[in-house]
Amino acid sequence: MTAQSPIEQEVAQLLVETLKLKVSAAIIDPVQPLFGDGLGLDSIDALELALAISKTYGYQLKSSDPDIKVIFSSLRALAEAIEKNRTK
């Protein structure tokens, strides 16, 4: 598995806590898919996650973001989007 960067560790922790995943944050592969076959998240998870990201980082996710599919494709992509768009 690819190693997690510090921001990826932080976002992985947020994921696990927000969604009450039964996995340890440290074992989420940054390049593994989050939805569907990967971690198996669904649209309600996406909604929960978006609220947590907004609260923690001040970044409001939108489905209309042209790269929304990319953003949610993996921990790495999500962490990069947060780094780029965070306001706190």
Which of 20, 37, 84, 88 forms a contact with another protein (CB under 8 A)? 20
Cα atoms in the 13 Å half-sphere on the side-chain side of 39: 28
Interface of this chain with another protein, residues 28 to 47, rule: CB under 8 A: 42-44, 46-47
Residue 11's closest CA among 86, 87, 75, 68?
A: 75
Residue nearer to another protein on the CB measure, 10 or 48: 48
Q: For 1-88, list the strands marked E by DSSP.
A: none
* 67 near another protein, rule: CB under 8 A: no
Question: Least Å distance between CB 67 and another protein?
Answer: 15
Place of tokens 């929304």: 68
Task: Tell me which residues touch another protein (CB under 8 A).
Answer: 17-20, 22, 42-44, 46-48, 50-51, 54, 60-64
